[in-house]
Structure 1
């Protein structure tokens, strides 16, 4: 049995996970708690860590069963094959989310044109504009200093 990544319709992650569970399919939809503020109140809600994705664990021959669930769009593919997530990676996500020393979790995809604030190193507290994002490198423009920086990105895990 392998963990696969299923792409689902926007805002249907929890509902799809619930239905898959009822179908006796092992499913994992990592959730984070967020405080949402409206004009009259604040409310803590659980929202998916990975928007539009849920993980399912099943045998390869059973993969088509997920398409019986409304909201399922397709599997995520990598190099022409359905993307397989290792058990260790799922365990790391679970452990990370259960760690009570982490107060807030956010995911950001770095895109050219985004403005960021450098938090560490010799350029701490300088604003930079992302010019290019590669697999292991990022190019930043720092307008205040009129320089371009090519930086190697550290592995997170």
Structure 2
């Protein structure tokens, strides 16, 4: 890496070490983002909400210098940076912002690796999700919002009423 471009990148961690790596990065004053979702887990006698990573074993990290790059590698549970070709893959600020909006304010969040045909492009115009760039797709005879995360080859599906839409 001869020149360094500051921005968002992806770390791949050991299984179930996402929170540990994120805490280590925070202690080192390195900005990271671990998208979390709430799921209902059923036990024999009860149901309980648990928080799980939206993308297991992945953490978004904002690298502003080579020192942050190497410090990220020293976090316990770190395996490697996600690469495309020979260099580490940079994640668009828009993608990170869309994931942040979706996980913070949407209630029904689902991650899938299904392939969807391009849908109608939308930008949410009002409410908590204002600014979210997404597509409308049909799944199980229902219209859902789709946020693509190309680098992970995953899609985030959201359910939201149509009054919040503005066509792009």
Query: Where on the TM-score scale, by shorter chain, does this alignment land: which range?
Result: 0.5 to 0.7
In the alignment, is residue 2 of structure 1 matched against residue 7 of structure 2?
yes
Shift of 1:52: 0.5
Give the total of aligned pairs. 116
1:18-57 matches, cutoff 5 A: 18-57=23-62
Q: How far apart in 1 are the matches of 2:47 and 2:94?
A: 36
Aligned-pair Cα RMSD in Å: 2.5
2:72 aligned to 66, 74, 81, which one? Answer: 66
Q: How far apart in 1 are the matches of 2:51 and 2:140?
A: 28
Gaps of 5+ in 2: 1-5, 116-138, 143-152, 154-168
> Does structure 2 retain, via aligned residues, the 8 Å contact 1:2–1:60?
no
Shift of 1:42: 1.6
Provide closer, same or farther for how the CA distance between residues 60 and 78 of structure 1 changes in structure 2, counting only shifts above 3 A.
farther
Shift of 1:28: 0.3
> Does structure 1 retain, via aligned residues, the 8 Å contact 2:83–2:89?
yes
Consecutive aligned runs of 4 or more in structure 1 exceeding 4 Å deviation: none
In the alignment, is residue 109 of structure 1 matched against residue 116 of structure 2?
no
Q: How far apart in 1 are the matches of 2:110 and 2:60?
A: 19
> Does structure 1 retain, via aligned residues, the 8 Å contact 2:102–2:109?
no
Q: Which has the larger radius of gyration?
A: 1
Gaps of 5+ in 1: 112-117, 122-134, 136-157
